[in-house]
Amino acid sequence: MRSPLRLFILFLLLSATAWTAQAESFQIDTLKPWQGTQVRFRDQVSMFVFRPEKPNGLSVVVCPGGSYFWLDQSTEGTEVGEWLSRHGITAFVLFYRTAGAAEFIWNTRIVFKGKRHPDMITDGQRALQWAWENADKYHIDRDKIGMMGFSAGGHLVMSCACFHTTNFLQAAGIQTEACLRPAFVAPVYPVVTMRKPYVHKRSQRGLLGNFRRNDKKMQDSLSLERHIPSDCPPVFLINCVDDPVVDYHNSVLLDSALTEKRIPHLYLQYARGKHGFGVSDYFGSPECRQWRAEFLRWLQGIYPDRPLD
């Protein structure tokens, strides 16, 4: 009969073996998408490419949240890349430019320009361009590059969907033939509006700065419920009614706008789960954590020939 100590050691060995096998099921490339350009704060932008062992041709640009001031790099970033890659989806996890903690504390953009719109959406388009131009290298289909974003990152990916006909890369001196329209978008508990009464004020300030945040034209121009194009890509939308950070009516506004424009979409509204749970197995609620399986089911409906197991 084996002793408890030997059983415990065996358990650790088996766990380590399982973790190693999982870790080896994908590779990670790290890159600086603005390297070699003159883009401001280019060194602060990073992208991590999670390459599944058996890519199915689908890919997703992942944009973490953080009120446009910082980024949740783990639960809404790298862990999302790992989860997607386990289902054969190549993930481009983008750490885009944000206003920064110093701006949050000291309002430094009163004196300096800092990072603000359109820096964030320009980074989003750069990620789409990079994925499109390197499709052969990563074994992905150019017409199946989607985006997924959380909280303020949800606003970013929907902005890329709403304003895909505006090439923000040109102002950065980038010429490209890449398609800047994502094939699909998945905003998760997203910031949507920049107007009262449902605006998330911290994201508004992070995106626009202290002066422009009170400019009603700027507010309207980035309130996404007002700018859904007729060719908006399919949308997978989720949030929780008990969200204490971003008022759940943000998603209600987006759902209504998508419905009015007859854009194919799925809106899942959960009663409990709050905010910031990402792909965690612990945060949120058992109810809201179902969103991952629902997303894969939704994606499978769009691309039935792509294995997601």
- The rounded distance, in Å, linking the Cα atoms of 26 and 153 is 24
Token pair 């001196």 in the structure block, residue: 173
Query: With a threshold of 0.75, does the pTM exceed it?
Result: yes
At residue 92, what are phi and psi to the nearest 5 degrees? -105, 95
Using alpha carbons, list the distances in angstroms from residue 24 to 61, 82, 91.
21, 11, 16
Among residues 93, 85, 80, the alpha carbon closest in space to that of 53 is found at 85
pLDDT tens for each residue of 178-209: 999 999 999 999 999 999 999 999 999 999 98
188 bridge partner residues: 150, 238
Please give the structure tokens belonging to residue 103. 């701006």
Residue 40: CB atoms within 10 Å: 13
pLDDT recorded at residue 112: 67
Is residue 94 within 8 Å of 60, Cβ to Cβ?
Answer: no
**The predicted structure's pLDDT at residue 109:** 63
Domains of the chain: 25-302 (3.40.50.1820)
> What is the β-pairing status of strands 185-188 and 59-63?
unpaired
The sign one gets for the Cα dihedral 33, 150, 258, 263 is positive
Q: Could you give phi then psi for residue 278, rounded to 5 degrees?
A: 50, -130
Handedness of CA 281, 284, 286, 292 (dihedral sign): negative
- Distance in angstroms (rounded) separating the CA atoms of residues 224 and 282: 31
Question: Which residues on adjacent β-strands are paired with residue 46?
Answer: 95
| Three-state SS annotation for 236-260 | EEEEECCCCCCCCHHHHHHHHHHHH
Q: Can you tell me the distance from the alpha carbon of 142 to that of 129, in angstroms, rounded to the nearest whole number?
A: 10
**Residue 222 DSSP code:** T
Cα 276 to Cα 114: distance, rounded to the nearest angstrom = 26
From 136, 138, 129, 116, select the one nearest 50 (Cα to Cα). 138
From first to last of its 309 residues, the chain has per-residue pLDDT tens of 344 434 333 333 333 333 333 445 789 999 999 999 999 999 999 999 999 999 999 999 999 999 999 999 999 999 999 999 999 999 999 999 999 988 888 776 665 678 999 999 999 999 999 999 999 999 999 999 999 999 999 999 999 999 999 999 998 899 999 999 999 999 999 999 999 999 999 999 999 988 788 899 999 999 999 999 999 999 999 999 999 999 999 999 999 999 999 999 999 999 999 999 999 999 999 999 999 999 999 999 999 999 997
Q: How many CA atoms lie within 13 A of 148 on its CB side?
A: 28
